[in-house]
Every structure is written in structure tokens, then in C-alpha cells.
Chains A and B, each alone.
Chain A
């Protein structure tokens, strides 16, 4: 692909922090072509383009270099008016052939601006419009693996329970029906806490891995069983996983919220972290100035990893240099 060489001059300044402050920089437009997946994408050129699209791209690049300023202005308007985006999409549909993964740092990403949820009008893309996974040769993996901090799971013990009996006879159990209608039980290994309800349903929190959560839930079920209840182990399901990691550099949250307005909310007076709601995978990230990132909302471990791989290049782009 020769697209890197033909990057318009304004895009070449993207790597520098000053580039972020220039208005209308395409990479920071929230109306980037996220395809169907609405995944923020790092700088990369996918090798999955068809020849047809390559030709169209080369033609469009020449056209786009002439229309850069107009598009920049359009983008700024699009940031405010969602309906305008659809109009511009139709205008730019002829120019756009990027049926493949959206690319933030590419000039062509200017043109396609599909709204979240709407499918852009692409002329017969050969490749399927799947959101490209970040594992492409052009992007480097971050080398940082988020650590799981907390797993919340639920299980149905399958029988009604007498909470008073459990609280009276079990060890390490609390039951205060006036405050909360469940027995709060804790075990030391794995260090977890369980909320056991009279319906027989149980919530297990505090484990650091999926296996530990399952093992802990089984231990609680065994405790209940030993107290004389016919406990079973039905429908064990992990409901939420929380991970955290450190990107090891400070982050400009103000810049991030300006360019990713659709996904971020940042109220420093309310909470010092930026709340980034990624659409695919559906994960909420808390991003802090120090470079620490908390990821939550995952049902499987892979979602945490995928979300971090998605956000890492964006965060690199907002690295604080002072």
C-alpha cells in the first residue's frame, strides 16, 4: 500500500502533539468510519483491501487532497449535527471505498462518517465490513496485559434456604434482615464474599479469575449443603469482570474527550477519571491522568484484552509530553 507516502501533510503532523490541537484533524473526528463495529482504530493499513478498492483509494486521495479543508469544516459540523453526517455520507459515498476496517490516521477516513448504528453507503465492497481486529502487522501490540481484579458471578442453588439457620450455624456469616435480605458469607480461599438469598440464588464476588470464582461458588454451595439444604449448582454464570493496567505514561484526558465525544464523559470536578464507553466490545474504561486504566463490564476475559488493545493506540496518541 502506498497510502502512507501519500498521507496529506496535515495528517503527517498527527504524531506530534501539536497535531491534535489543529482543528479538523481527521483522526480526531468522532465521525470516523467505524464500520459496523464502531471500534476506534489505530494507524494501520489493512492488507485485506481488494484491488478494486485500492484503485478507488488512489483516485480518491487525489480528490481528497483538494477537498481537505472543506471536509474538515464538514467534520466539525458533523460533530454537532448527526443528521448532517448522513448527508455528508451520501456526498462522500462515491469517494469512499473503505469497506474494510476504518483507519484513524488515514486521509480517507475523513470521508466516511457513518453514524453509530447506520450502515454507510459503500459501493460494492468486496471485503466484508467487519471491524478489523487490531492484530494487524502495521500496529504493534501494547505488550501490556490487563490484570483481572474482580469477578462477579451468580449461581442458583436450586432450593429455598432458611437464612436464619444459615446465619446461626455457618461460620463467617452475617445476616441483618432489617438492612439487607441476604446472608453475607465469606471464605478465605479463594478470598471471596457471597450474598446468599432465601430464593436459593447466590452472588459470588471478589475472585481474581474465572476458575477461582467457580471454585469459590462451589465452596459456598458445599457449606450450604452441609447445613442440611439440598443445594445444587445450577446456571453458574460470570456476570462481570474487572481488569486494570498501567500504560506507563500520562494521558491528556481533555484532548481525548474532545475528539471522542461520543464515547467519553469527563467531569473532573465530579470524578478524576475519564469514562470511556467502548461500543465494541461493550466495555467501560476509566482512564486516569496517571496512565492507569480500569476496564469493566466484560463477560469474558477476551473482551477486556480486546478493549485494551483498542484503546492503547488512542491513548498513545494523547500522551502527555510535558
Chain B
């Protein structure tokens, strides 16, 4: 879908309310990640693939060990997408 088409149906009652909520969601997540998340997790695995266009890193790791002070988790495959941010990188992991 092109962005112009998106704009049209977003400018409806339902669309407007949903956009407001999405904005609130953005703000909440950003502040939560910045303020409320304090732990540090180390992870280590073998690199299967990496990619870096447009300042966005994509990694695919195999046999990964997620290590936190308290516990250890082992996973076969991890895909990591990361981009730059002011204090910490924002990471989504599947």
C-alpha cells in the first residue's frame, strides 16, 4: 500500500483515535525502556548472518546463550534487529 492511500483512511474517526493511542504507546514504551529497564543481559552465539544497511544491524545467531546474573537460557536461533539510539540500542528479538 502506498503511503498516500494510508493517509486517507487514517483520517477517520476511528483512525484518528487509533493514531492518538499509537502515539501514547510510543511515548510509554520509550520512557519505560529508558527509565524502568535496568537489567543487563549478555548473549553469545555463533554468527550465521549479519547485515547493515541504513544504520540498522540485523544478526542471525545460532546456539545462543542468554546470560543474566540470575539465570541462563539457551536458544537455537536468534534474529536480532538493532539500530542506534541515544543511550542504548533498541532491540527486538524473535
Q: Is the CB of B55 within 8 A of A172?
A: no
A174→B51 CA distance, assembly (Å): 6
Q: Among the listed A168, A171, A172, which residue makes an inter-chain contact with B53, where contact means beta carbons less than 8 Å apart?
A: A168
- Chain A interface secondary structure, helix, strand, loop or mixed? mixed
With a CB–CB cut-off of 8 A, which chain A residues contact B54?
164, 167-168, 175
Whether A225 sits at the interface, judged by CB under 8 Å, is: no
State whether A174 touches B55 (Cβ < 8 A).
Answer: no
Picked from A164, A168, A172, A176, the residue with its CB within 8 Å of the CB of B50 is A172
A126 at interface, CB cutoff 8 A: no
Contact A173 B51 (CB under 8 A): yes
Q: Is the CB of B52 within 8 A of A171?
A: no
Q: Number of residues in B with C-beta < 8 Å to the partner?
A: 7
Tell me which residues from 28 to 72 in chain B have a Cβ below 8 Å from any Cβ of chain A: 49-55
Interface string of A125-169 (1 = CB under 8 A from B): 000000000000000000000000000000000000000100110
Closest to A167 in B: B53
Chain B residues with CB under 8 Å of A175's CB are 52-54
Using an 8 Å CB-CB cutoff, how does the interface string of B55-92 with A read, 1 for contact, 0 for none? 10000000000000000000000000000000000000
A174 touches B49 (CB 8 A): no
**Chain B residues within 8 Å of A174, by CB:** 50-52
Contacts of A172 in B (CB 8 A): 49-51
Taking a contact as CB atoms under 8 Å apart, the answer to whether A171 and B55 are in contact is no
Residue of A nearest to B60 (CB): A171
| A176-B55 in contact (CB<8A) | yes
Whether A167 lies near B52 (C-beta < 8 A) is yes
Q: Which of B49, B50, B53, B54 has the most CB of A within 10 A?
A: B53
Taking CB atoms, residues of chain B closer than 8 Å to A170 are 51
Assess whether B51 is in contact with A164, with CB atoms less than 8 Å apart.
no
* CB–CB A167/B51 < 8 A: yes
- On chain B, the residues within 8 Å of A176 by CB distance are 52, 55
Chain A contacts for B51, CB-based, 8 A: 167-168, 170-174
B57 shortest CB reach to chain A, Å:
9
Tell me the complex Cα distance, A19–B2, Å: 85
- Taking A171-B51, A173-B53 as known contacts, 7 extra A-B pairs with beta carbons closer than 8 A to each other, sorted by chain A number, are A167-B52, A167-B53, A167-B54, A168-B53, A173-B51, A173-B52, A175-B54
Q: 6 closest Cβ contacts across the A-B interface?
A: A167-B53, A174-B52, A171-B49, A168-B53, A175-B53, A172-B50
